Amino acid sequence: MSFINHQPLLSAHNVSFSYPASKNPVLTDISLDLYPGEILILAGPSGSGKSSLLYALSGLVPRSIPGTIRGTISLAGKDLSSIPNWEISKTLSLVLQEPEDQFFTMQVEDELAFGPENHGLQDQKIIKRTYQAAQSTGAESLISRPLHTLSEGQKQRVAIAANLTLKPKILLFDEPTSNLDEHSTARFYELIKALSREENRAIILCEHRLHGPCQYADRLVILQDGRLQYDGSPQILQNSSILKKWGLREETQALDFGSHFWEDRIPPAPILSLDHISFRFGRKENFFFTMGNFSAEKGEVIALFGENGVGKTTFLRLLAGLLTPTEGKILLQGEQVHRIPKKRRSRIVRLVLQNTDHQLFMPTVLSELTFCGDHQKALQLLDQFNLTSLENRHPHSLSVGEKQRLTIAAALIYDPRVLLLDEPTSGMDGANINRLIQVLKEYKKQGMTIVIASHDMTLIRAMCNRGIKIKA
Amino acid sequence: MQFEQTANCTIIDPRAKMAGLILFCLLSFFLHTVPVLLAYLSIPIIFLIFLKPSGRFFTKMEIGAGLFLSACILLYFWARAQCPIHLDGIASARAIVRVFIFTGSGLIFMLTTSSSRFILGLEKLHLPPPLIFVLAIAIRFFPHLLQEMELISNNLQGRGIGFYQWLRHPVYSGRAFIFPVVIRAIKKADTLAMAATMRGFGAPIPRTCRQKLTISTPDYLFLISLLIIGLIFFYCDRYAYLKWGM
């Protein structure tokens, strides 16, 4: 589709941006035009400035996010810096990475009505827009539900619907599929295509997983070190050397669930085993988890699959002894895992959860590793994970991908017998996924048992001997 | 593991609830005997038991609050047993019970008020928009913060920092806990503020609301019953003071 005959809706000209504490600019001389009806994919390795560019294009910098911005951004022909935020929200919406973080109310209906209420629309108009937005996103059935009862995919839909109620001409998404399973991701892209067609909306998707969205995209923009490296057709991604050059994720086909890979097998000398366990969160909660049998032997890498909300994280927490099964036993080296004293258990089995912010406790990257571990080993791990240059940085100032590598390194410093990883690559680029695979393969050779809950087929194909699919 | 609102109480107007909260807290300053204050505290506690937000961290907080309250009662009896009576001890016990009263009633307010109705209530009180913005984020943010604290505490345990490490190295363990809590709190508040800005919050036009707020009979009944309860406690307090002292 050709867009050049149209006036650009959003236009950036020689935009450079730097955060107050940073010496180097995070964006340098970015020029970009976005046309009505266009779907643009914004890609690049971790820390390349994708999110910062979205914040700049949405007018959040420097008003909500402090920093120095140069160059001009115009929205529908007007200088963005001269338009107040509330007026920008009529034309442009930004959907942030974590849907839950942006919810302002407790009920889906209230959340959808929040934007129109802020704009002082009349009751009938608010109700009409609320239902229209819910219909466009397939969230009609959720409208009367409390937000905390929704799955990740459903929350994502509500977050989009909440932004659609203002009828924006431009929608910006910051890594919208990083927490979604394959099925929800496919539905999400279908929705994006429909939203683009619906009112000739322009859409920018900032993504790590590129092959899904690129089937629907009109244009691909690649950033590296804050500079625009490529602006053109997404067809370029068919060349794998290009992906490697820019550190992007490679395409991996979905796995065949009927193949030998998925054959159920009971290892002769399992390090970790369970037999018919069940678990329930308190008496009030509806969530109920059951599992038949499962065992893992030394040096095995097992993949854990399932749609969002089926209980993969709960299962990992049970394996780590952080939760106690309501029925049944989980044995780690012959002992019930939740009965092993915490200090000893923390050295045998390590769990790395998806949200890294909850797992970083110290003021520097190095001290995060030396917190409970050996200094030499810490330096070695920093080198293995390419974090040496960041050893004096505050862990919370790192990018998502860097934090993920650091939390995995912090788990490996204990040399655990069992390592449990929950979506370890959701914020990583292609180069870092390959690095992680290499490191984990070394530990696998040394006999470490690894269980990985992930939607990332590159990681699973490269690492896992067996897979378990958890069903709802 | 949810700390979201357990009851969306729409019967009472948020303005009446705010007035009730202030009234309830102010009345505690007219009560001077610790046993009567403890009885007064039982009102929010009963409400909280009825609302009972689930979550392990909440349970831990309940245990902590129970222990602290028990220590406060022991302090009171110890102060009374001294000859002459240890007035500072009694004053401290009284202050601690009042803090519990404020916290408990504030918690009830947060657990039973939806953000939209709260914002609308504040607007009807003609409060300045920046203050409304801060208060609205705070009420939305509080349940999230508790959830974050539970997750961080669990992860810290996973790194081997359990109860005994807290006892042996309180500063080190405390710092390891506080760091991520503060950072998550700032990040979460920032994201929420950004998301609200991107959806037109703070626009210089009168905000509308699908739900209508009107002070009606249940609100007056609520405030009058609170006042009556306060007066009963005030009378009991006078009686107890004359009969048994502080």
Higher pLDDT, A163 or B245: A163
A136, A195 contact by CB (below 8 A)? yes
A296, A448 contact by CB (below 8 A)? no
**Gyration radius of chain B over CA positions:** 21
Nearest beta carbon to residue A117 from set B2, B114, B209: B209
Cis peptide bond N-terminal to B204, omega within 30 = no
Angstrom distance (rounded) from CA A249 to CA A177: 14
Per-residue pLDDT band for A140 (boundaries 50, 70, 90) equals confident
- Determine, for residues A357 and B194 on separate chains, whether the beta-carbon distance falls below 8 Å: no
| Mean of pLDDT values over A341-357 | 86
The interaxial angle of helices B34-51 and B56-81, nearest 10 deg, is 170
Per-residue pLDDT band for B54 (boundaries 50, 70, 90) equals low
Write down the mean pLDDT value for chain B.
Answer: 81
The arrangement of strands across the sheet holding A335-336 comes to A288-297, A270-280, A327-332, A335-336
Which residues are registered as beta bridge partners of A270?
Answer: A297
Angstrom distance (rounded) from CA A329 to CA A362: 35
Window 89-148 of B, Cβ < 8 Å to A: 114-116, 136, 140, 148
Using a CB-CB distance cutoff of 8 angstroms, which residues of chain B are in contact with residue A371? 159, 176
Which residues are registered as beta bridge partners of A279?
Answer: A289
Q: Is the per-residue pLDDT at B8 higher than 50?
A: no
Nearest beta carbon to residue A343 from set B162, B205, B206: B162
The DSSP code for A253 is P
Using a CB-CB distance cutoff of 8 angstroms, which residues of chain A are in contact with residue B162? 342-343
Nearest beta carbon to residue B157 from set A64, A342, A347: A342
Which superfamily is assigned to A260-469 in CATH? P-loop containing nucleotide triphosphate hydrolases (3.40.50.300)
Using DSSP's 3-state secondary structure scheme, residue A302 falls into strand
Structure tokens at A200: 């000739």
> How many contacts does A have with B, using Cβ atoms within 8 A?
167
| Mean of pLDDT values over A190-208 | 88
Q: Name the segment(s) of chain A with CATH classification 3.40.50.300.
A: 10-245, 260-469
- Determine, for residues B207 and A117 on separate chains, whether the beta-carbon distance falls below 8 Å: yes
- Determine, for residues A371 and B184 on separate chains, whether the beta-carbon distance falls below 8 Å: no
Structure tokens at B242: 């004359």
Nearest beta carbon to residue B151 from set A115, A163, A358: A358
Contacts of A225 (CB under 8 A, 6+ apart): A28, A48, A49
A243-263 residue pLDDT tens: 777 777 766 655 554 444 444
A116, A126 contact by CB (below 8 A)? yes
| Mean of pLDDT values over A15-19 | 92
Backbone angles phi, psi at A419, to 5 degrees: -115, 125
Nearest beta carbon to residue A361 from set B165, B176, B191: B176
| Mean of pLDDT values over B131-153 | 79
- A449-453 vs A466-469, strand pairing mode: unpaired
Using DSSP's 3-state secondary structure scheme, residue A43 falls into strand
Identity at B176, one-letter amino acid code:
A
Q: For A165, which residue in chain B has the nearest alpha carbon? A: B199
* DSSP string of A265-287, one letter each residue: ---SSEEEEEEEEEEESTTT---
| Mean of pLDDT values over B50-54 | 65
Angstrom distance (rounded) from CA A103 to CA A310: 23
- Distances in whole angstroms, Cα of residue A255 to Cα of each of A138, A252, A280, A440, A469: 28, 9, 30, 20, 11
Is the CB of residue B180 less than 8 Å away from at least one CB of chain A? Answer: yes
- A335-336 vs A288-297, strand pairing mode: unpaired
A12, A31 contact by CB (below 8 A)? yes
For residue A140, which of A109, A116, A163, A104 has the smallest C-alpha distance?
Answer: A109
- Determine, for residues B203 and A350 on separate chains, whether the beta-carbon distance falls below 8 Å: no
B195, A58 contact by CB (below 8 A)? no
Using DSSP's 3-state secondary structure scheme, residue A329 falls into strand
Which residues are registered as beta bridge partners of A78?
Answer: A75
Using a CB-CB distance cutoff of 8 angstroms, which residues of chain A are in contact with residue B201? 86, 104, 114, 118
What is the nearest CA distance from B159 to chain A, expressed in angstroms? 6
What is the nearest CA distance from B103 to chain A, expressed in angstroms? 22
Cis peptide bond N-terminal to B180, omega within 30 = no
- Determine, for residues B179 and A362 on separate chains, whether the beta-carbon distance falls below 8 Å: yes
Burial class (CB in 10 A: 0-12, 13-18, 19+), B88: exposed
- Other Cβ atoms closer than 10 A to A263: 9
Q: What percent of chain A has pLDDT over 70?
A: 92
A169-181 residue pLDDT tens: 999 998 888 777 7
Q: Is the per-residue pLDDT at A276 higher than 60?
A: yes
> For the ranges A76-80, A324-328, A443-447, B130-134, which has the lowest average pLDDT?
B130-134
- Other Cβ atoms closer than 10 A to A100: 19
pLDDT value, residue A253: 55
Q: Is the per-residue pLDDT at A403 higher than 50?
A: yes
Nearest beta carbon to residue B192 from set A89, A102, A343: A102
- Determine, for residues B115 and A89 on separate chains, whether the beta-carbon distance falls below 8 Å: no
Window 45-84 of B, Cβ < 8 Å to A: 54
- A288-297 vs A270-280, strand pairing mode: antiparallel
A194, A136 contact by CB (below 8 A)? yes
- Determine, for residues A372 and B159 on separate chains, whether the beta-carbon distance falls below 8 Å: yes
| Mean of pLDDT values over B181-188 | 86
Using a CB-CB distance cutoff of 8 angstroms, which residues of chain A are in contact with residue B194? 60, 64-65, 94, 96, 102
The residues spanned by each domain of chain B are 1-113+213-241, 115-202
Using a CB-CB distance cutoff of 8 angstroms, which residues of chain B are in contact with residue A421? none
> For the ranges A123-132, A381-390, A394-403, which has the lowest average pLDDT?
A394-403
Q: For A163, which residue in chain B has the nearest alpha carbon? A: B199
Structure tokens at B79: 């102060």
What is the Cα B73 distance to its own chain's centre?
20
pLDDT value, residue A71: 93
Place of tokens 């030394």: A298
For residue A92, which of A58, A122, A54 has the smallest C-alpha distance?
Answer: A58
Q: What percent of chain A has pLDDT over 90?
A: 31
Is the CB of residue B168 less than 8 Å away from at least one CB of chain A? Answer: no
A409-450 residue pLDDT tens: 999 998 899 999 998 988 788 888 888 999 999 999 999 999
- Determine, for residues B201 and A118 on separate chains, whether the beta-carbon distance falls below 8 Å: yes
- Determine, for residues B180 and A357 on separate chains, whether the beta-carbon distance falls below 8 Å: yes
Backbone angles phi, psi at A255, to 5 degrees: -80, 150
Using a CB-CB distance cutoff of 8 angstroms, which residues of chain A are in contact with residue B195? 96, 101-104
Place of tokens 């050397």: A241
What is the nearest CA distance from A245 to chain B, expressed in angstroms? 33
Using DSSP's 3-state secondary structure scheme, residue B231 falls into helix
Contacts of A66 (CB under 8 A, 6+ apart): A19, A20
Is the CB of residue B10 less than 8 Å away from at least one CB of chain A? Answer: no
| Mean of pLDDT values over A189-205 | 89
Angstrom distance (rounded) from CA A56 to CA A173: 13
pLDDT value, residue B4: 41
Is the CB of residue B176 less than 8 Å away from at least one CB of chain A? Answer: yes
Write down the mean pLDDT value for chain A.
Answer: 85
| Mean of pLDDT values over A342-347 | 82
Q: Is the per-residue pLDDT at B3 higher than 70?
A: no
A161, A112 contact by CB (below 8 A)? yes
- Determine, for residues B54 and A359 on separate chains, whether the beta-carbon distance falls below 8 Å: no
Q: For B120, which residue in chain A has the nearest alpha carbon? A: A117
B18, B109 contact by CB (below 8 A)? yes
Angstrom distance (rounded) from CA B214 to CA A335: 61
What is the nearest CA distance from B179 to chain A, expressed in angstroms? 6
Nearest beta carbon to residue B176 from set A105, A122, A362: A362
Backbone angles phi, psi at A278, to 5 degrees: -140, 155
Angstrom distance (rounded) from CA A411 to CA A424: 12
A33-63 residue pLDDT tens: 999 999 999 998 877 889 899 999 999 988 8
Is the CB of residue B22 less than 8 Å away from at least one CB of chain A? Answer: no
What is the nearest CA distance from B120 to chain A, expressed in angstroms? 10
- Determine, for residues A86 and B159 on separate chains, whether the beta-carbon distance falls below 8 Å: no
Side-chain half-sphere exposure of B118, counting CA atoms within 13 A: 23
**CATH assignment of A10-245, among 1.10.3210.10, 3.40.50.300, 3.40.50.2300, 3.40.50.620:** 3.40.50.300
Burial class (CB in 10 A: 0-12, 13-18, 19+), B35: middle
Using a CB-CB distance cutoff of 8 angstroms, which residues of chain B are in contact with residue A52? none
| Mean of pLDDT values over A384-397 | 89
What is the nearest CA distance from A293 to chain B, expressed in angstroms? 25
